[in-house]
Amino acid sequence: MPIIQINRAEPALLQEVADTIGKAKKVLVVTGAGISTNSGIPSTTYLFSSQASRSGLRNMKGRDLFDSNIWSDPLKTQVFYRFATTLRQKVKEVEPTKTHHFLARLKDVGKLARVYTQNIDEIEKKIGLSTDLKSGAGGKRHGERSKPKVTYVHEKGVECVFLHGSLRDLRCFVCSGTCDWDEDGRESRTMSGEQPDCPHCAGATAARQEKGKRALGVGKLRPDIVLYGEEHPQNDLISPIVQHDLGTGPDLLLVLGTSLRVHGLKVMVREFARAVHSKGGKVVFINFTKPSESTWGDVIDYWVEWDCDAWVDDLKERKPVL
């Protein structure tokens, strides 16, 4: 079926979408930069341009900065470190948007199955969503045996999965260990374009030398975000969570503020949509960018052509409980 296009001047269709969300019991959400636009985070294009021009890289495009090829160019690497550090400092100051608070509300009313985000700003933590992948998918586990039956304890899993990593930590190129970006003057060093040494590697090398063994190389630290051409370092934790969610019967997929251009995300959205449609559910896409009918015609049911926060305001008028 063709995608149903909706704009702000179509109250009947907006109500149809609101009713769909109101009836849903297990909502999967996929988000992109569009949900953070109104938080006050400076445009990444602006931040990048200012850093690139300072370094004489006027022909470098924004996407180039998020490509793994930067590691082969020392100058581009310096620009990337300064850019990531500046963005991290700005993100600390921002507040969650109405769309973020809507996600928290979905959790509060028991509808939220999970959020998967392309964003690296960690605003989801400010609304109380758990983000530790080591928590797993959650669910139920056997508790202590009691007579006459076995009790069950609900395990809280990760509520928001960062698909592209986040700006919280630095990660080692060599050992993959993570370090607090704020400790030991690391932020000032990355702001100057430097790559700090990994304390885990340094500690391991020192321990070997004390035993009279050969020293090992000490890795450099990098922002813990995933660039184009790289695999997520915690993909082994993310994949089981995705498979869990596909098998739990989600009945609504909300895709908010993303243009769906990244291949891996396209595959994920298609898989989620297939699971949702198998339960008779719907896929709702909120974004200004028109989804391609040839690519998404059998995936997306509703396209709401609107700002995410403005749509949330409208939704709350139609469904105050949300």
Known binding residues: 172, 175, 198, 201
- The neighbour count for residue 69, using CB atoms within 10 Å, is 11
| Residue among 33, 63, 47, 59 nearest 191 (CA) | 47
Known binding-site residues for Zn(2+) equal 172, 175, 198, 201
Q: Which of 100, 164, 200, 232 is catalytic?
A: 164
Asked about 244 being catalytic, the answer comes back as no
- Name the amino acid, one letter, at 229: G
Give the residue carrying structure tokens 């669910």: 139
Question: 8 with 314: CB under 8 angstroms?
Answer: yes
Sign of CA dihedral 99, 100, 103, 104: negative
Cβ burial of 263 (10 Å; 0-12, 13-18, 19+) is: exposed
Residue (of 213, 292, 279) closest to 24 by Cα position: 279
Q: Which two tokens stand for residue 241?
A: 């969570």
Q: List active site positions.
A: 164
